Structure 1
Amino acid sequence: MKKPLPVGVDDFGKLIQNGYYYVDKTLFIKELLDKKGDVTLFTRPRRFGKTLNMSMLKYFFEDSGSPEQKEKNKRLFDGLAITNSGESYLKKMGKYPVISLSLKSAKQKTYQSAYHKLRRELAGEFDRHRQITESLHPEKAVRYRRILNETASEDEFSGALKFLSEVLRESTGEKAIILIDEYDVPLENAHFNGFYEEMAGFIRSLFEAALKTNPFLEFGVITGCLRITRESIFIGLNNLKINSILCGQYDEYFGFTPEETQQLLTDYGRLDKFHTVKEWYDGYRFGETEVYNPWNVINFLDASSENAGVIPSPYWANTSSNDIVKSLVERADISVKGELEILIEGGTIEKPVHENITYDNIYDSEDNLWNFLFFTGYLRMVSRKLEAETEYITMALPNAEVKYIYKNTIRNWFVKKIEKKDLNKLISALEQGDVQTMAEEISSCLQESISFYDYAENYYHGFLTGLLKVQQKYRVISNPETGFGRPDIILKTASIRGAAIILELKVVNEYGKMENGCRKALEQIETQYYTMEPEKEGYQTILKYGICFYRKECMVIKG
């Protein structure tokens, strides 16, 4: 019998106890201990296993204070790789008090609401360790209860982690391990809601007290999607080690390797789907390791267990609003539009690396925006080089799912854009036979658009149909049956006293062939009798246009 798949399960204890399938990442513990970092920040895109790994660390290291619970936690690791790594590692199991926080709840509209959520998270951790209050000095016990009851001042809350590590050391005799998951969620949220400086100030104070020269700290681990500059959040933390997707350490512990993905597919009898999974969910590169998106792989497998013919879906895309891609598209100038088209066509772009960005300066430059997209999983590294003391990365889209995100975002953006466009000039030109103005108006819209169809005829057909549907005067009919074929587009007024306008489209691969393309389009209208249906309906005015496209240029000839 196959094990259930852990869709959305990020608690290590629950995952193991309930018999879910687990891709063994426990050697992450060994490498963490071998590296002996005081404080390590891991930045990876969302849904790549950060929270599950943090939960694993908590279950491995924590001294719960109960022999029964310690034994229960120990059994979670039976048969996993860490248990074969040597006695020196197993001695660390169940040894330390652990302070574990997730900051993801601080995604709120105002600073006060966000701070309230952070305060509650801190109080919850104090509640989890409340058994130690009996052994505390009365003065410290009073302070402890103020934080526990959420009546402490903001200054006291900013020092809460250090204080908790201090009293845990006094109570247990061991220094504390501090685990902080999704540290940058409050910062990203604060940026988009206009209170970044306030939130950055609180997080900075919280981290500085807990992680900078804290004598009660064994070590700390922080996770997030983006590295925030030392000057912004990690001020003075000289003991901080940063492990980003560019580093060559810990690469295989976030996401699934190709071997792990193949084994997973094999175990569920879906190895025949490997190439589909690779096309849609592979493509990431952390350090020198190829990585699959684990959220997608597990969700796809879960869906295919119910339906062998299931098609891939954008599972990762659907867990976010993908606002950063929207921002890039909406702010794109002609240069960025060109780069987006290159990426969507499967090409690459080269950008300088800026790891030291903050949420507050994402939009200060195009390079910052591209870097944000890279570090958060919307682009992948193809290669890197050092030139004149600046590191450059050649970037591409990781896979079909991320391409879907860009294309869908661009499509929605363009629909909204043309909905606001005044088409009176174009419609007037159509009615009056002003082919020069028609060509200029259509070309202008093309210049503003972002293409993702390799300039094939169906791209122009969809583009022009969408553009013309914005106006209200004519009904736009795409590929209607008339005569001996189907013209590309016919516009008809509601009354036959108005006009029917037939548009036949052609695409050429050289600018100089555009006139010939228009002539061929007009010839097709005549030889295929495309006017037959409008004539039968009684339209007295029937206009015919041959329209030819070359990339983002348009030519129109009237028949």
Structure 2
Amino acid sequence: MGIFLNSAAPYSLYESEVKKPYFVDKSLMLEELFLPAETGNSHICITRPRRFGKTVMANMVSAFFSHGVDSTEIFSKLKIAESTGYKKHLNTHDVIRIDFSRMPRNCNSYDQYIERIERILIQDLMEAYPKADIQEEDAVWDSLDLVYERYGCQRFIFVFDEWDCIFHKDFITDEDKKKYISFLSSLLKDKAYVLLSYMTGILPIAKYSSGSELNMFAEYTMVSEEKFSDAFGFTEAEVDMLYARFLKNTGKPLLSRSGLKEWYDGYHAKGGERIYNPRSVVMALTNNNLGNYWTSSGPYDEIYYYIEKNVAGVRNDLALMVSGESVEAKVQEYAATSMELTTREEIFSAMVVYGFLSSEEGKVRIPNRELMERFDEMLQKEPSLGYVYRLARESKRMLEATLHGDTQVMEQILEYAHNTETPLLSYNHEIELSAIVNLVYLSARDQYRVEREDKAGKGYVDFIFYPIRESDDAIILELKVDHTPEEAIAQIKEKEYALRLKGKLAAKIHHTGRILAVGIGYDKGTKKHRCKVEKLKG
């Protein structure tokens, strides 16, 4: 066993995963690799956002195929044990497993980075295949050629994790990127010793392999290919299973199944399957708490990085997406590899690739509450977002004024919104009204679950603010164009929205606060807003 060649590390790491209380058996994914491993010279690249299980799966692939450690104890208990080809491939191959995110000590150049990889791999080969007569100064691919020729056509499975890691390093130049792509091509392309190369990362390879260097890879992304879609992230059925396990193991559950969906669902595979962020689900169940786990390591400015080159081009779309709407966008995932993100499509493509947005049927959206909180934070801290920033900053004052029935302040804030350069305030479409209401009540999300109720064309917009704490006031908000706020409140009463709210509140908390009806009327002729707040009877 070596550091890269038939290493014991992948086995130990995957064994630890299998023993964890919220492990999900995705071993059937290995079936998809049996045929490529039999035909030879096969190349697969799977890209997903970070924390979507890429490393766990890479360790699984290595532990299963490698004969470095007998992994029967693990896999005999998993689904793959029932598969045809299980015994044929279990621990019967030489596997070269490299985590490309590992850096040399004090690494500050590409040469340092790649020399470490070459040195370790050549040392492994020299120890395992002494008759190949490999020299330390030999190129890695020449060394592997020698092994192939002198050890009876010896072939390898290559498992590369985080293939694109160096593209995120400040010390990497454009010339370095070309050298790295050339390195991978020289190592893998048209090589007799390659049985299978299995590579994972965040960035698709298409951009950097614009020529023919890595065109032998079949790429599988979340957006473009259905194959492998259920192997990364958790499906609805898997989250159901994990939540049932959680209820069985937890004496006092503090989170609900619907909470997991609200916080961590929202991604879509090519085949239409809904996908949950796996790390966040596991952390929430482990801690018995809904929280921001996936994005906690990357603050709001990581999101802002992608939009800062063209704030004006995406500002209105952000306002709509923060209100829960989808916006049309042509997502081309290769654009995310460009460091010069200037067009709207490039920006949204990058955000899809990195998992900040989800894409479905030609539209992008903020996938869940975990990400929505980061977008909310950005909107309230980045002045360059213009009117979006200014309205978001007013949201705390708007909520306080509403709870205190201070309609004068409410009208002043709405007037301020209308008098800025707010292009969304045309009041021509329901979604534009939704965006503005969300912006001026953005801070309410700290205390409320804000839901927009569809009324099948019977009116404009209707929002219900469900309080998180039982003593806080609930709010039903109706916005009307060319009607008075009194008429808006009359509609709230007529449609008995309060009964619907009470039913949902009773199912979750013992609500002791008031239920406030809020009517907002806008007169197109005078371009004035009027507000009214009324306590609904019991």
Q: State percent identity of aligned pairs.
A: 20
For 2:90, the aligned partner's letter is M
For 2:294, the aligned partner's letter is W
Unpaired runs of 5+ residues, structure 1, are: 1-9, 145-155, 305-309, 384-392, 422-437, 464-506, 515-547
CA distance in 2, matches of 1:11, 1:300: 26
SS in 2 for 1:269: helix
Shift of 1:277: 0.4
1:101 and 2:111 matched: no
Post-superposition CA distance 1:272-328 (Å, at most 9, x none):
621100111111111222211110011101111xxxxx3x11111113346552034
Q: Verify the 8 A CA contact 1:212 1:237 in the aligned structure 2.
A: yes
**Which residue does 2:274 correspond to in 1?**
290
**Which residue does 1:16 correspond to in 2?**
15
Q: Verify the 8 A CA contact 2:126 2:132 in the aligned structure 1.
A: no
SS in 1 for 2:197: strand
Question: Aligned pair in 2 of structure 1 residues 439, 299: CA closer, same or farther (>3 Å)?
Answer: closer
Q: Verify the 8 A CA contact 2:45 2:200 in the aligned structure 1.
A: yes
Q: Verify the 8 A CA contact 1:247 1:287 in the aligned structure 2.
A: yes
Question: Aligned pair in 2 of structure 1 residues 230, 508: CA closer, same or farther (>3 Å)?
Answer: closer
Q: Verify the 8 A CA contact 2:185 2:214 in the aligned structure 1.
A: yes
Q: Verify the 8 A CA contact 1:186 1:199 in the aligned structure 2.
A: no
Q: Verify the 8 A CA contact 1:295 1:316 in the aligned structure 2.
A: yes
**Which residue does 2:364 correspond to in 1?**
395
Question: Aligned pair in 2 of structure 1 residues 417, 107: CA closer, same or farther (>3 Å)?
Answer: farther
TM-score (norm 2): 0.66
Given candidates 239, 257, 264, the residue that maps to 2:235 is 257
For 2:369, the aligned partner's letter is A
CA distance in 2, matches of 1:324, 1:230: 22
Q: Verify the 8 A CA contact 1:107 1:185 in the aligned structure 2.
A: no
Shift of 1:80: 0.9
CA distance in 1, matches of 2:414, 2:365: 34
CA distance in 1, matches of 2:277, 2:442: 35
CA distance in 2, matches of 1:34, 1:322: 43
SS in 2 for 1:95: coil
CA distance in 2, matches of 1:242, 1:448: 40
**Which residue does 1:266 correspond to in 2?**
244
Q: Verify the 8 A CA contact 2:99 2:160 in the aligned structure 1.
A: yes
For 1:280, the aligned partner's letter is W
Q: Verify the 8 A CA contact 2:336 2:353 in the aligned structure 1.
A: no
Shift of 1:184: 1.4
**Which residue does 1:165 correspond to in 2?**
144
CA distance in 1, matches of 2:321, 2:227: 28
**Which residue does 1:84 correspond to in 2?**
82
**Which residue does 2:27 correspond to in 1?**
26
For 1:459, the aligned partner's letter is V
**Which residue does 1:222 correspond to in 2?**
199
Question: Aligned pair in 2 of structure 1 residues 127, 56: CA closer, same or farther (>3 Å)?
Answer: farther
Post-superposition CA distance 1:449-478 (Å, at most 9, x none):
999985449937979xxxxxxxxxxxxxxx
Shift of 1:171: 6.5
**Which residue does 2:294 correspond to in 1?**
316
1:57 and 2:61 matched: yes
Q: Verify the 8 A CA contact 2:160 2:198 in the aligned structure 1.
A: yes
Given candidates 459, 466, 469, the residue that maps to 2:440 is 459
Q: Verify the 8 A CA contact 2:279 2:294 in the aligned structure 1.
A: yes
Question: Aligned pair in 2 of structure 1 residues 447, 13: CA closer, same or farther (>3 Å)?
Answer: same
Q: Verify the 8 A CA contact 1:101 1:179 in the aligned structure 2.
A: yes
Post-superposition CA distance 1:407-460 (Å, at most 9, x none):
112222139989x99xxxxxxxxxxxxxxxx99998676649999985449937
Question: Aligned pair in 2 of structure 1 residues 124, 231: CA closer, same or farther (>3 Å)?
Answer: closer
| Higher-Rg member (1/2) | 1
RMSD: 4.2
Q: Verify the 8 A CA contact 2:306 2:350 in the aligned structure 1.
A: no
Q: Verify the 8 A CA contact 1:204 1:233 in the aligned structure 2.
A: no
Shift of 1:254: 0.6
SS in 2 for 1:100: strand
Shift of 1:129: 4.5
**Which residue does 2:119 correspond to in 1?**
123
Question: Aligned pair in 2 of structure 1 residues 443, 280: CA closer, same or farther (>3 Å)?
Answer: same
CA distance in 1, matches of 2:238, 2:106: 40
Q: Verify the 8 A CA contact 2:181 2:214 in the aligned structure 1.
A: no
**Which residue does 2:132 correspond to in 1?**
136
Decide which moves more: 52-61 or 266-275.
266-275
Q: Verify the 8 A CA contact 1:313 1:401 in the aligned structure 2.
A: yes
CA distance in 1, matches of 2:50, 2:95: 24
Question: Aligned pair in 2 of structure 1 residues 407, 372: CA closer, same or farther (>3 Å)?
Answer: same
Shift of 1:175: 0.4
Post-superposition CA distance 1:125-182 (Å, at most 9, x none):
4444552253232xx23436xxxxxxxxxxx4xxx3x245334435754201111111
Shift of 1:266: 1.1
SS in 2 for 1:105: coil
CA distance in 2, matches of 1:216, 1:296: 39
CA distance in 1, matches of 2:105, 2:325: 38
**Which residue does 1:526 correspond to in 2?**
none
How many residues in Structure 1 have an aligned counterpart in Structure 2?
A: 415
CA distance in 1, matches of 2:521, 2:124: 67
Q: Verify the 8 A CA contact 1:348 1:396 in the aligned structure 2.
A: yes
CA distance in 1, matches of 2:376, 2:305: 14
CA distance in 2, matches of 1:221, 1:90: 20
Unpaired runs of 5+ residues, structure 2, are: 1-8, 391-412, 426-431, 445-477, 486-519, 530-538
CA distance in 2, matches of 1:353, 1:96: 39
Q: Verify the 8 A CA contact 1:106 1:115 in the aligned structure 2.
A: no
Q: Verify the 8 A CA contact 2:45 2:218 in the aligned structure 1.
A: yes
Question: Aligned pair in 2 of structure 1 residues 101, 323: CA closer, same or farther (>3 Å)?
Answer: farther
CA distance in 2, matches of 1:104, 1:444: 50
1:278 and 2:282 matched: no
Shift of 1:202: 1.8
CA distance in 1, matches of 2:124, 2:340: 37
